[in-house]
Amino acid sequence: MAYQKTFLIYNPFAGALRNQRRERILQRSIAVLHEKGIGVEALSTHGPGTASEIARQCVDKGADLVLVAGGDGTINEVVNGMAGSGVPLAILPAGTANVLAMEMAIGRRMARIAGKLPTYIPERIALARLRNDLAPDGRYFLLMAGVGLDADIVYKLSASLKATLGKVAYWVSGFSQLGRRFPEFTVEVDGRRHRASLALASRVRNYGGDLEIAPTISLLEDELELVLFSGESSFRYLKYVVGVLARKLDGMQGVKILRAREVSCTAPEDQRIYVQMDGEFAGHLPATIDIVPNALTLLVPPEFRTRRPVRADSSTWTTSPTR
């Protein structure tokens, strides 16, 4: 398809765009798009929360494609400005983790991805929606929401440490939690209640870009994969980390992996439990998460449509017909 009115929303503070050399990568990517016949109007974000409104304005101006150059947090903002529209979204990964890029197996080289963009195809997908104190009317997410431990890490993570160390900053912050008690909260799914100190409601397999925690989910499905970790002892999480690295979470004591279309989480009266969404702080409990089908058009490489995780063996993939 020949795109005639394309807007590129970019975050100048994203990990891959912070210095002049890396900024040239963005300009090279724009030049490649022009070479492929895709004229681009580039629009910079102006701080946290501004990308959603820019995306809405692009849709209102009649965009036939919106590109995002930024991290997963910037992508999340753009998604919230485009949800429900028919305008396709495509990404040029430039963030710290780039979970969506890893999920679609498109790599991280922005100019190379730009060159392949004309071969990508539109796929209509579901989004997940979070409702809580910061988003009483609901906020969409494309990747995952976390409740409990990982959200606490996101909330307390120093921006300067993240800028300096990238993904390593999350590990540093995580291991600094050793010796602490992690409060449990209640997770309700299909009328059944579970206890957890960390709950991940995921639309993608990868966590942080290079760890597989939700092994059987796909963006092509209208469900969440819910991974629940129980226990208040921080040292128990050393075992969980080993299970994640070995891809042997399923069946591990203290871990439950469920499928759901709607989830509710509530905190004990004396506890404040944090929530994160696509790697950014997203408020506190209580919260509900549900699936909104047919909510976004995402440009994906052709092979992505035919790859599906195999539930019987999470370490392999199979080829299956598209929907």
CATH number at residue 153: 2.60.200.40
Phi/psi zone of residue 294: left (φ > 0), alpha (ψ -120 to 50 degrees), beta?
left
- φ and ψ at residue 176, rounded to 5 degrees: -70, -10
Tokens of 41: 């109007």
* Residue pLDDT tens, the chain, 323 long: 678 899 999 988 775 555 555 678 889 999 999 999 999 999 999 888 899 999 999 999 999 999 999 888 899 999 999 999 999 999 998 877 789 999 999 988 899 999 999 999 999 999 999 999 999 999 999 999 999 998 988 887 655 555 554 555 555 566 567 668 899 999 999 999 999 999 999 999 988 666 788 989 999 999 999 999 999 998 898 898 889 888 888 889 999 999 999 999 999 998 999 999 988 899 999 999 999 999 999 999 999 977 655 554 433 333 333 33
> Is 147 inside a domain boundary?
yes
> Is 317 inside a domain boundary?
no
Check whether residue 139 and residue 287 sit in a common domain. Answer: yes
CATH number at residue 82: 3.40.50.10330
Cβ atoms of residues 98 and 108 within 8 Å:
yes
Check whether residue 164 and residue 235 sit in a common domain. Answer: yes
> Is 208 inside a domain boundary?
yes
Domain count, the chain: 2
Check whether residue 16 and residue 63 sit in a common domain. Answer: yes
Cα–Cα separations (whole angstroms), residue 84 to 48, 51, 127, 179, 301: 22, 16, 10, 45, 22
What's the CA gap between 191 and 170, in Å, rounded? Answer: 34
What's the CA gap between 236 and 170, in Å, rounded? Answer: 18
> Is 311 inside a domain boundary?
no
Q: In a 3-state reduction of DSSP, which class is residue 51? A: helix
Q: Which amino acid is at 258?
A: L
Q: 239 Cβ partners below 8 Å, 6+ apart?
A: 252, 254
Check whether residue 168 and residue 207 sit in a common domain. Answer: yes
> Is 321 inside a domain boundary?
no
Domain extent, residue 276, equals 128-293
Check whether residue 154 and residue 282 sit in a common domain. Answer: yes
* Nearest Cα to Cα of residue 44 among 18, 71, 75, 69: 69
pLDDT for the residue numbered 322: 35
Tokens of 122: 């539109």
> Is 323 inside a domain boundary?
no
What's the CA gap between 90 and 116, in Å, rounded? Answer: 11
What radius of gyration do the chain's Cα atoms show?
Answer: 19
> Is 306 inside a domain boundary?
no
pLDDT for the residue numbered 202: 96
Check whether residue 252 and residue 286 sit in a common domain. Answer: yes
pLDDT for the residue numbered 312: 42
What's the CA gap between 128 and 138, in Å, rounded? Answer: 10
Q: Which of these three, 90, 119, 148, is where a domain ends?
A: 119
Q: Which helix (H) or strand (E) holds 160?
A: helix 159-165
pTM recorded for the entire structure: 0.86
Cα–Cα separations (whole angstroms), residue 168 to 38, 42, 172, 175, 208: 36, 31, 6, 11, 10
